[in-house]
Structure 1
Amino acid sequence: MSHYEKLQQATASHRQWLLDTPVIRRALEGNITRDIYLAFLEQAYHHVKQTVPLMMACGARLPARLEWLRGALVEYIEEEYGHQEWILDDIRAIGGDADAVASATPAPATELMVRYIRDVIAYDNPVGFFGMVHVLEGTSTAIATQAAEQMRDGAGLPANAFRYLESHGSLDIGHLAFFEEQINRLEDPADLQAIIDSANMVYRLYGAMFRNLQRAAGDVASHEGLSHALV
């Protein structure tokens, strides 16, 4: 079994918990409101804008034995730079206040996810950063394009309001193949375990972010707080 297959197996239950999130199921059915989509874009902005700084921090702390992985990060940074601006464009397209979103404070689960990975990089094993990559890229590949199509048709949202989702659905297919290649090159079992551990934590925090979107949008159908969303 390859390292990537081990990673997939060791994170399967947490991945399914994320994909079972009610708001994700609603998005895939096109049963989503503008306010919930706007709430999603706001949280996406706050974690996407941290992607490049986190990659740079990871690259700075990788040991010499992983110089090849540092090189891979350089390539990855070039592709990811500035994607938060796409999200702001999507917010404007649905009539949202992009400036207000950019200056707002992220939701607790979103902030905890970023802070957790930053802590893993700084104080644990920087390779653990790739656990977040596994979650975000894998989730995008699984649902982003389909969700964008269903929401555009079902919710009647503007066609130009899905640049972030549509681009990442297709773009991340290539990223995921690249990611798999790098993971399979790892030699130290501790590095793979660091990725597994951080991926499982990020699945919980990312899932909590989604589980609180309805509440953030004022949807009375959702009564979950962060403590319940993390269970």
Structure 2
Amino acid sequence: MYRFLLTRRWVGLHLLVLALIPAFFFLGKWQWGRFEERSATSALITANLGAAPVPIDRLGRPGATVPERDRYRIVTATGRYDPAHELVVRRRTLNTRVGFYVITPLVTPQGAVLVNRGWVPAGATADAPPRVPAPPTGEVTVTGRLRPAETRENTGIRNRSGLPAGQILLIDTPALAKGLPYGVFGGFVELTAQTPMPAEAPELLPPPDVGGGGGLNLAYAVQWWLFIGIAVGGWVLLVRREARDLRTERESQGVTVRAAR
């Protein structure tokens, strides 16, 4: 009855199902890994955002890098802004609006901190300088989210030369530090508050969206693994249907032969 399973058509189906099972398994495993990674990242960022602020010199030093464990940690720094070395970062959006981030060094006794003071709208043309509110003068205490230096790898943004003076594409702290007359702490600080508050300032950036902690990846992992059951169940149903059809065909042929006799 089941000799049909050895025909060329059915052997091809067997091989297809056998190939789909490990493929679906490893796709589900990959999504599960993404779920674990994003859940860990979400938990880390949530904890850092909720932690009490600490002075930036307790977490790093000039020339160092920001470790993954300190990403989005709330830090403080006290010093004086250096508007002479202020830069603006092109092609940055806020609520779907295209504009610039404003990066101003804050010079402290321990070293300088690159502070992202917020977002300003673009100028009249792509190359026109935006209107940037001046930073507060005198001693300033800033509070903000510590971020690692931007690179092409962690942003997807390709750097290029030939930009208008004072404009950059990446907050690449080590590269920017080479053009500054003082040591610079690793990464940069995304401003959330400062004392004193100026009358006019760039628009502060919202906190990061930690999302569902990889919940979508978990759903995809379960989906791929369910496909294994669907593939095997579909194969079983097709085999049973083929066997039933052959049995019915043979029974009908037997009836026909007996009737002929």
Would the TM-score normalized by the shorter structure come out above 0.5?
no
Q: Which structure features the higher share of helix residues?
A: 1
**Structure 1 or 2: more strand by fraction:** 2
Q: Which has the greater radius of gyration?
A: 2
